[in-house]
Amino acid sequence: MSPTQFAHEHFVADTCAALAEYGGAPGLVTESAVMTDAAQARQKLLDLRALGVRVALDDFGTGHSSLGQLRSLPVDVLKIDRVFIQDSRTDAAFIQAIISMGHSLGLEVVAEGIEDASTVAQLQALHCDLGQGFYFARPQPAAQAVAATVRGGPLAMLCP
């Protein structure tokens, strides 16, 4: 969701209503959305967790977050922004630091923007939990993605 959606006064209630009506478990929040008012963001994320929503902090490393704020936010997944993955050979130490930090905070870590097998191998060696990108699949309608997954198609995972 966008920072504007997240900042809306009735965001949690609207999310609850959408979950009740349509099902599913949304939970992608950009770094900039939660950093504008950390106290309010924390409460909203706690309210979402109470609904059973897992929350992923998207675009990590490109916004204005402080490590102290990240530590206090109730998120489940940390998504490393694709700008770091695209230069994964030169940014390997930085990527390793993000993965280690995420794991030490009990978070699942996802790498965005994976486009080739060598990047997959590098991220596996760095113990990244999951990955997404064109290497696995191009964007597609949800029904098509589910069908591909069910029949063993490309999964956005870093399988050993």
Give the dihedral sign, CA 91/95/96/98: positive
The answer to whether position 24 is within a domain reads yes
Our count of domains for the chain comes to 1
pLDDT band of 137, cuts 50, 70, 90: confident
CATH of the domain at 67: 3.20.20.450
- The model's pLDDT over 59-100, given as tens digits with 9 standing for 90+, comes to 787 765 557 667 778 889 999 989 989 887 778 899 999 999
- The model's pLDDT over 18-27, given as tens digits with 9 standing for 90+, comes to 666 655 555 5
Which residues lie below 8 Å from residue 94, measured CB to CB, with a gap of 6+?
61, 84
pTM above 0.85, yes or no: no
The answer to whether position 27 is within a domain reads yes
Three-state DSSP class for 106?
A: coil
The answer to whether position 18 is within a domain reads yes
- The model's pLDDT over 28-63, given as tens digits with 9 standing for 90+, comes to 555 566 666 778 888 888 888 888 888 888 878 776
The answer to whether position 159 is within a domain reads no
Instruction: Determine the average pLDDT of the residues in 145-149.
Output: 70
The answer to whether position 130 is within a domain reads no
Angle CA(44)–CA(48)–CA(103) in degrees, nearest 5? 95
Domain of residue 97 covers 3-115
The answer to whether position 136 is within a domain reads no
